[in-house]
């Protein structure tokens, strides 16, 4: 191989030895170096006896080890050895030469893996001579018997004397042709696959006059997959072809062509279906994972291929060789200076994520299952949103349209954000009622106001009134603001209830019942009733165990005085920050701040938005209030905080807010329900909203929550009539081509093509079995042989008793049983109920002599819904 | 047997010795820098009279227009016989002898002019492109016809032209041209294309400067020593025909001569330039050789034809051909 690229061969039996051949042969031993992960190669021996090397093949048997056959540029094949203590068997063989009749380049060599004394050599073309010669290396015949005078003549005397030259091959194949690559087939050791000039040929040594061949350009580097003996790879320039010997007419697969010609192709001996390829002048090795995917439909399925590439070293790669036993390991030698890299191809990781949030991945021969940890106290907080949504969907979250507040409980009940949404439907209801009640003076679209939030409501001016502390002797008045809109806002915040009553006592009681003492106290205080606040705190301290703190706070509270400069005020404003309950904190902030400057209350982010808004509605003037509301709205939008819905309403602003909420949490479920429940139609048309809804539907489908999805669709159809799906299936009469739907004849009623059809007991029952257009009979059910349109329950033959019970019990099911159904493949069909019960026990079509496996063609038909209704 | 009709469309041209310097650039490129050109078929044969070049259309672009260059008007197609299947009789005659009866004689019978080029690897039978239907008709009975299209071999169905062809008269073919046999011996050999760069200067010397030491062609005739050299690079395969003396100038082990030590002597056909229209010349020579089972190479050039026969057979060959010539 003068000046040509190096090649590597692993020893077939020593897992730590390989040979690199370029202009000479070098035997290396690879072993762990002093470093932890590294390996080093030690040069054991060099053999430079054979010039003009073209190809090398390693003797496949244990003994003699390290015997190499070298093919030379003039066609001679020489047996040689490297650095071994020669056994007698080896000594006998080493130095043997096999000389073809006419000199030409030897392109390839292949030892027979079973009859290891057979060595096949592929030569270039020479006129009438053969290009595939199979030598018997154990043959002891020299020149005495068969060699002609002519043959003697062309061999030098010295060679003839030594008796080590063989000129008569055991088999001669491929006359007048060139052989570029060879390999013995693993399925039968008598078969030899040869890449000839423009064709691939399989020679059978038992009958050498016959050959199987196929014309192709891809004749270089033929190699058999060691794991799949009928699979062969070969290439031509940049094109790689995969052949199946059982179907040899054409390649089963041709891989994408590479811009540079290929130089080596090798199947991985340790991994099934992994093929490595190398092109010229590159530093990457391309790998192809070939998998046989048994698909039930069709014969023309191709193996699926995954292509990837690895870069074992920086320099250009001269050649590579898979390790014979170590998994996915190869040694790579650089093109120029014999830099070797020991390299293990990392196994492709395939990952599958089920819709029920369990994860599975496979790497090499390992399979990992990763289930979400469902146990543990704080598990639910860390759970993936998909799991949460699935649980919520399973428990019917969002579906309860009557008692809206229950949704919060259905959702699991401990998400403060979702809790705040409880008020959303209430708010909408409120708004609708309030709009009627108050006959708002604001001119404009009443409908739009119904869905808008506080932000839009509190825009009108309010009257200022000064109100004094109730039940106390202080003189200072606190300015408070009133208007109908502010009142409405307070209602929306939940502080005051519907109607003319503007007392907060009801609200306070409900808070007390829920044990929210601090909040109740704060609300009482903001309503300027400090005694009530202190009373609440006292009750709280006595009820809640160990909440001594509340008494202390009550004490502190009772010390309030309206003097501007005093010790109490000073201490409270500094020490309040140490209180860990934010409501207690804002109480003191309120008391210690100047009228109109309530930043300590308004920007305390851990206080519920609706309380802060209510507070703002009471104490901020017409200039401050909109500014504060705008600021808070933007803050909520930026954070995606659902509490902000109170401010934005379900307007376009609300969609923005919801968008950042979905971006943050991925909770399309809540988003879909909110938008669907409370939004006007034009907001529902927003592509974002449609996207959430569609994604939620897809999720439900993926979880096989088909009934839930259907419920959702029904619900959606009620709230958003434009979303009703159009009819997807129409049944037309075979004779007249008109729709057989009765109502369809008159009014184009869409979407209910089936269910209206064939309901037993209807007045038109007698006509139901014929086409309403032309009165011709409808096709017959393949099972009961009645014309379609006949109710299932009336079929005497096939109707099971239990089915009848079902029918009488559940009318809806009976309707479905009457539906038309048919196989798209064989076109046979009948009543849905009959078909279902047939395919429960059978795989083939019920029509005799029809072998269609209808049910197997239905990929989803065999799945069961996860939410049994 | 399969007959492959190769896809190369070939031109045959002659370069006068005086005009060779015009073409050296193209010739060197075609012969030694195969990667720089898309030419797939290149053959150069030097005779005392001229250089004959056979080249495909890609390679033809490398040659300039000059009065020193004459081009045979037609385009030629190369035919190649492949004996499909491995019939194990190992001692087959090689060269034109093998195809004399099956290809060359039938073509001669149908008055189809052929141009022969034997190489180390195989024999190419060049026919005019316009004669192809007739060629296919003539040979379809004997051969499986395969045509190479874009590198893929496809079967050709018989063109079905049966009418309009004159049934050939099967007449004996006397040898009508004078023969001569130079005294020097030749090697037909090849080398590994990878080693071509290492012997390129030597080959250039042999190709272009052979006439330097010798005088005009006339003296060559008198000394009955012929200056003949052929180089071809066809589909990546190198073939060389050269004087035995010349082979000694090559380094050891470069030429594929170590094992097949046969030497060949030449029979040169023609006193006047033969032209391209006369048919049957190859048949006249090859048929007697085939009868006598003597292997032979046959190389046509622009002006004359050359047959190479084993040196030990030269006398019997001359004998046989002379009797053929004088028979009628």
Task: Find the Cα–Cα–Cα–Cα dihedral A256, A259, A261, A267, rounded to 10°.
Answer: -40
Residue A742 has a pLDDT of 54
Tens of pLDDT, residues A63-92: 777 888 999 888 889 998 887 666 676 777
Q: List the single best residue of A175, A178, A192, A203 to mutate versus B (max B Cβ within 10 A).
A: A175
The nearest CA of chain A is from the CA of B148 a distance in Å of 10
Chain-centroid distance, C-alpha A591: 57
Residue B126 has a pLDDT of 92
- Quick check: B258 contacting A, CB < 8 Å? yes
Does A769 score more than 80 pLDDT?
no
Whether pTM exceeds 0.90: no
ipTM value of the model? 0.77
Quick check: B105 and B287 in contact, CB under 8 A? Answer: yes
- Sign of torsion over alpha carbons A318, A321, A322, A325: negative
Question: A127, B253: Cβ pair inside 8 Å?
Answer: no
Contacts of B88 in chain A (CB under 8 A): 172, 208-209
What is the chain B residue with the closest CA to A201? B85
Question: B192, A73: Cβ pair inside 8 Å?
Answer: yes
Tens of pLDDT, residues A291-303: 755 544 444 444 5
What is the chain A residue with the closest CA to B234? A125
Residue B328 has a pLDDT of 42
Most confident of A312-321, A639-648, A847-856: A312-321
- Quick check: B21 contacting A, CB < 8 Å? no
How would residue A142 be classed by pLDDT, with cut points 50, 70 and 90?
A: very low
Q: Give the residue from B153, B209, B166, B204 showing the smallest Cα distance to B4.
A: B153
Contacts of A102 in chain B (CB under 8 A): 256, 259-260
Q: Which of A52, A75, A173 sits opposite B86 (nearest CB)?
A: A173
Question: A127, B81: Cβ pair inside 8 Å?
Answer: no
The nearest CA of chain B is from the CA of A172 a distance in Å of 7
The nearest CA of chain B is from the CA of A124 a distance in Å of 8
- Quick check: B196 contacting A, CB < 8 Å? no
What is the chain A residue with the closest CA to B124? A127
CA B237, CA B200: separation in Å to the nearest integer?
15
Question: B194, A73: Cβ pair inside 8 Å?
Answer: yes
Q: Give the residue from B142, B135, B140, B83 showing the smallest Cα distance to B108.
A: B135
Does B218 score more than 70 pLDDT?
no
- Quick check: B252 contacting A, CB < 8 Å? no
Q: Which of B90, B152, B253 sits opposite A74 (nearest CB)?
A: B253
Question: B194, A3: Cβ pair inside 8 Å?
Answer: yes
Tokens representing residue A524 in the block: 């009482």
Tens of pLDDT, residues A476-509: 667 777 777 777 777 777 777 655 566 777 788 8
- Quick check: B149 contacting A, CB < 8 Å? no
The nearest CA of chain A is from the CA of B119 a distance in Å of 8
Q: Name the least confident of A29-33, A735-739, B193-197.
A: A735-739
Query: In 10 A of CB B287, how many CB atoms?
Result: 22
CA A81, CA A137: separation in Å to the nearest integer?
14
Residue A744 has a pLDDT of 39
The nearest CA of chain B is from the CA of A117 a distance in Å of 22
Question: A51, B253: Cβ pair inside 8 Å?
Answer: yes
CA A640, CA A659: separation in Å to the nearest integer?
7
Question: A103, B257: Cβ pair inside 8 Å?
Answer: yes
- Quick check: B293 contacting A, CB < 8 Å? no
- Quick check: A104 contacting B, CB < 8 Å? yes
- Quick check: A215 contacting B, CB < 8 Å? yes
The nearest CA of chain A is from the CA of B88 a distance in Å of 7
- The single-letter DSSP state of residue B212 is G
What is the chain B residue with the closest CA to A50? B253
| Residues written for chain A | 869
The nearest CA of chain A is from the CA of B293 a distance in Å of 14
Residue A47 has a pLDDT of 86
Q: Which of B88, B195, B258 sits opposite A2 (nearest CB)?
A: B195
Residue A802 has a pLDDT of 41
Most confident of A3-12, A240-249, A784-793, B98-107: A240-249
Residue B91 has a pLDDT of 44
How would residue B323 be classed by pLDDT, with cut points 50, 70 and 90?
A: confident
- Quick check: A210 contacting B, CB < 8 Å? yes
Does A114 score more than 60 pLDDT?
yes
Question: A215, B120: Cβ pair inside 8 Å?
Answer: no
Tens of pLDDT, residues B247-304: 888 887 788 764 556 788 999 988 888 888 888 888 888 888 888 888 888 999 998 9
Contacts of A155 in chain B (CB under 8 A): 259
How would residue A455 be classed by pLDDT, with cut points 50, 70 and 90?
A: confident
What is the chain A residue with the closest CA to B95? A127
CA A126, CA B94: separation in Å to the nearest integer?
10
Does A156 score more than 50 pLDDT?
no
The nearest CA of chain B is from the CA of A153 a distance in Å of 7
Helix (H, G, I), strand (E, B) or coil at A72: strand
Contacts of B253 in chain A (CB under 8 A): 51-52, 73-74
Question: B253, A4: Cβ pair inside 8 Å?
Answer: no
Quick check: A494 and A615 in contact, CB under 8 A? Answer: no
Residue B41 has a pLDDT of 93
The nearest CA of chain A is from the CA of B192 a distance in Å of 6
Q: Give the residue from A195, A203, A196, A217 showing the smallest Cα distance to A169.
A: A203
The nearest CA of chain B is from the CA of A866 a distance in Å of 57
Residue A850 has a pLDDT of 86
- Quick check: B155 contacting A, CB < 8 Å? no
Task: Tell me the pLDDT of chain A averaged across its residues.
Answer: 75
Does A687 score more than 70 pLDDT?
yes
Does A147 score more than 80 pLDDT?
no
Contacts of A216 in chain B (CB under 8 A): 152
Tell me what percent of the residues of chain B surpass a pLDDT of 90.
16
The nearest CA of chain B is from the CA of A215 a distance in Å of 7
Q: Give the residue from A115, A230, A108 showing the smallest Cα distance to A174.
A: A108
Tell me what percent of the residues of chain A surpass a pLDDT of 70.
74
- Quick check: B190 contacting A, CB < 8 Å? yes
What mean pLDDT do residues A237-264 have? Answer: 88
Residue A617 has a pLDDT of 83
How would residue B216 be classed by pLDDT, with cut points 50, 70 and 90?
A: very low
Helix (H, G, I), strand (E, B) or coil at B24: helix
Residue A41: strand pairing partners = A30
- Quick check: A65 contacting B, CB < 8 Å? no
Contacts of A175 in chain B (CB under 8 A): 83, 85-87, 92
What is the chain A residue with the closest CA to B261? A154
How would residue A798 be classed by pLDDT, with cut points 50, 70 and 90?
A: very low
CA A200, CA A188: separation in Å to the nearest integer?
17
Tokens representing residue A156 in the block: 């030098």
Contacts of A172 in chain B (CB under 8 A): 86, 88, 90
Residue A181 has a pLDDT of 93
Residue A812 has a pLDDT of 44
- The single-letter DSSP state of residue B296 is B
Higher-pLDDT residue of B219 and A284 is A284
- Quick check: A715 contacting B, CB < 8 Å? no
Size of interface A-B (CB pairs under 8 A): 103
Q: Enumerate residues 344 to 363 of chain A having a beta carbon within 8 A of any beta carbon in chain B.
A: none
What is the chain A residue with the closest CA to B146? A215
Higher-pLDDT residue of A406 and B209 is B209
**In chain A, what's the furthest Cα-to-Cα distance?**
141
Tens of pLDDT, residues B116-161: 999 888 889 999 999 888 888 888 877 888 888 877 777 776 555 5
What mean pLDDT do residues A440-463 have? Answer: 55
Contacts of A203 in chain B (CB under 8 A): 86
Does A119 score more than 90 pLDDT?
yes
- Rg of the Cα trace of chain B? 19
Quick check: A27 and A66 in contact, CB under 8 A? Answer: yes
CA B156, CA B144: separation in Å to the nearest integer?
8
Tens of pLDDT, residues B63-121: 888 888 999 888 999 998 876 544 434 445 566 677 777 888 888 888 888 999 998 88
The nearest CA of chain B is from the CA of A127 a distance in Å of 4
Residue A200: strand pairing partners = A195, A214
- Quick check: A147 contacting B, CB < 8 Å? no
């Amino acid at each position: 191989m003068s000046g040509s690229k190096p090649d590597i061969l692993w020893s077939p039996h020593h897992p730590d030895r390989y040979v690199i051949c370029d202009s000479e042969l070098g035997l290396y031993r690879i072993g762990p170096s002093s470093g932890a992960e590294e390996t080093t190669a030690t040069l054991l021996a060099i053999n430079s006896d054979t010039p003009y090397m073209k190809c090398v093949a390693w003797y496949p048997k244990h003994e003699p080890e390290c015997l190499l056959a070298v093919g030379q540029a003039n066609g001679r094949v020489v047996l040689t050895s490297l650095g071994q203590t020669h056994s007698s068997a080896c000594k006998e063989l080493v130095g043997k030469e096999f000389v073809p009749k006419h000199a030409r380049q030897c392109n390839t060599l292949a030892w027979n893996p079973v009859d290891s004394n057979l060595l096949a050599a592929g030569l270039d073309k020479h006129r009438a001579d053969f290009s595939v010669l199979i030598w018997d290396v154990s043959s002891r015949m020299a020149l005495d018997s068969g060699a002609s005078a002519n043959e003697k003549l062309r061999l030098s005397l010295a060679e003839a004397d030594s008796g080590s030259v063989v000129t008569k091959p055991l088999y001669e194949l491929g006359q007048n042709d060139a052989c570029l690559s060879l390999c013995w087939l693993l399925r039968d050791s008598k078969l030899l696959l040869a890449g000839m000039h423009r064709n691939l040929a399989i020679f059978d040594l038992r009958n050498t006059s016959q050959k199987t061949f196929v014309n192709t350009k891809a004749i270089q580097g033929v190699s058999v997959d060691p794991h799949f003996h009928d699979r062969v790879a070969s290439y031509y320039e940049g094109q790689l072809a995969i052949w199946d010997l059982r179907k040899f007419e054409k390649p089963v697969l041709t891989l994408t062509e590479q811009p540079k010609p290929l130089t080596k192709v090798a199947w991985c001996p340790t991994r099934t279906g992994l093929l490595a390829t190398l092109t010229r002048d590159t530093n990457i090795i391309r790998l192809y994972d070939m998998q046989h995917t048994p698909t039930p439909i069709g014969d023309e399925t191709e193996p699926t291929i995954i292509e990837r590439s690895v870069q074992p070293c920086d320099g250009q790669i001269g050649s590579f060789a898979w390790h014979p036993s170590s998994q996915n390991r190869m040694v790579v030698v650089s093109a120029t200076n014999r830099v070797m890299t020991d390299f293990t191809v990392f196994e492709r990781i395939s990952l599958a994520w089920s819709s029920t949030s369990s994860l599975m991945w496979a790497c090499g021969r390992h399979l990992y299952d990763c289930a979400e940890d469902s146990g543990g106290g704080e598990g639910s907080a860390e759970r993936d949103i998909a799991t949460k949504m699935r649980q919520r969907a399973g428990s019917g979250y969002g579906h309860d349209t009557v008692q809206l507040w229950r949704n919060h409980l259905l959702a699991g009940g401990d998400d403060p954000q979702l809790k705040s949404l409880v008020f959303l439907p209430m708010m909408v209801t409120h708004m609708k009622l309030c709009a009627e009640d108050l006959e708002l003076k604001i001119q404009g679209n009443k409908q739009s106001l119904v869905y808008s939030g506080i932000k839009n409501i509190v825009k009108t001016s309010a009257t200022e009134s000064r109100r004094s502390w109730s039940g106390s002797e202080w003189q200072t008045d606190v300015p408070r603001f009133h208007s109908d809109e502010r009142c409405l806002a307070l209602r929306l915040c939940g502080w005051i209830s519907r109607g003319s009553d503007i007392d907060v006592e009801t609200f306070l009681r409900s808070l007390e019942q829920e044990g929210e003492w601090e909040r109740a106290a704060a609300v009482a205080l903001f309503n300027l009733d400090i005694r009530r606040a202190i009373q609440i705190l006292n009750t709280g301290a006595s009820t809640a165990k160990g909440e001594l703190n509340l008494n202390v706070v009550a004490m502190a509270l009772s010390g309030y005085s309206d003097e501007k400069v005093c010790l109490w005020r000073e201490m409270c404003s500094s020490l309040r920050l140490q209180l860990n309950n934010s409501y207690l904190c804002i109480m003191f902030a309120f008391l210690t701040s100047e009228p109109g400057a309530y930043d300590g209350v308004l920007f305390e982010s851990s206080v519920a938005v609706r309380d802060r808004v209510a507070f703002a509605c009471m104490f901020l003037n017409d200039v401050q209030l909109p500014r504060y509301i705008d600021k808070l709205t933007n803050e909520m939008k930026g954070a995606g905080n659902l509490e902000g819905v109170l401010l934005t309403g379900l307007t376009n602003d609300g969609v923005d807010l919801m968008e950042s909420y979905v971006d943050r949490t991925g909770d399309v479920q809540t988003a879909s329900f909110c938008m669907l429940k409370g939004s006007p139609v034009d907001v529902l048309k927003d592509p974002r909203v449609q996207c959430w809804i569609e994604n939620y539907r897809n999720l439900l489908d993926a979880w096989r929550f088909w009934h839930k999805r259907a419920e959702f669709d029904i619900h959606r159809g009620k709230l958003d009539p434009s979303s009703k799906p159009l009819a997807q299936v129409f049944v037309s009469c075979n004779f007249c081509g008109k729709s057989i739907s009765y109502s369809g004849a008159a009014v184009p009623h869409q979407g209910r093509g089936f269910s209206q059809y064939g309901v037993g007991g209807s007045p038109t029952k007698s006509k139901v079995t014929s086409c309403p257009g032309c009165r011709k009979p409808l096709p017959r059910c393949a099972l009961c042989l009645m014309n379609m349109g006949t109710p299932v329950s009336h079929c005497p033959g096939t109707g099971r008793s239990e089915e009848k019970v079902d029918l009488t019990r559940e009318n809806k099911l009976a309707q479905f049983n009457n539906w038309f159904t048919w196989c798209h493949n064989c076109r046979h069909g009948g009543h849905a109920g009959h078909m279902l019960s047939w395919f429960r026990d059978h795989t083939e079509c019920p029509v005799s002599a029809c072998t269609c496996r209808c049910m197997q063609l239905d990929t989803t038909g065999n799945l069961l819904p996860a939410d049994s209704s | 047997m399969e007959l492959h009709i190769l896809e190369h469309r070939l031109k045959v041209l002659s370069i006068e010795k005086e005009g060779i310097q015009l073409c050296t650039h193209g010739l060197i490129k075609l012969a030694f820098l195969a990667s720089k050109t898309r030419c797939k078929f290149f053959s150069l044969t030097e005779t005392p009279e001229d250089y004959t070049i056979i080249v495909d259309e890609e390679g033809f672009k490398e040659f300039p227009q000059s009065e020193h260059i004459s081009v045979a008007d037609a385009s030629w197609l190369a035919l190649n016989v492949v004996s499909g299947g491995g019939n194990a009789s190992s001692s087959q005659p090689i060269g034109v002898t093998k195809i004399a009866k099956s290809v060359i004689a039938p073509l001669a019978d149908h008055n189809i002019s052929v141009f022969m080029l034997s190489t180390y690897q195989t024999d190419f039978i060049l026919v005019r492109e316009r004669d192809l239907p007739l060629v296919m008709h003539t040979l379809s009975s004997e051969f499986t016809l395969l045509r190479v299209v874009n590198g893929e071999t496809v079967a050709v169905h018989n063109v079905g032209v049966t009418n309009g062809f004159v049934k050939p008269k099967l007449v004996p073919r006397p040898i009508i041209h004078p023969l001569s046999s130079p005294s020097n011996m030749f090697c037909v050999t090849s080398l590994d294309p990878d080693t071509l760069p290492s012997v390129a200067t030597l080959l250039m010397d042999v190709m272009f400067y052979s006439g330097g030491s010798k005088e005009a062609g006339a003296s060559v005739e008198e000394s009955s020593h012929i200056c003949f050299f052929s180089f071809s690079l066809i589909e990546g395969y190198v073939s060389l025909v050269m004087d035995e003396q010349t082979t000694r100038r090559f380094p050891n082990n470069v030429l594929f001569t170590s094992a097949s030590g046969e030497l060949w002597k030449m029979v040169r056909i023609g006193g006047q330039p033969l032209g391209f229209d006369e048919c049957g010349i190859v048949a006249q020579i090859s048929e007697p050789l085939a009868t006598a089972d003597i292997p032979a190479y046959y190389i046509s050039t622009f002006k004359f034809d050359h047959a190479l026969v084993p040196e030990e057979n030269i006398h019997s060959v001359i004998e046989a051909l002379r009797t053929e010539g004088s028979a009628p």
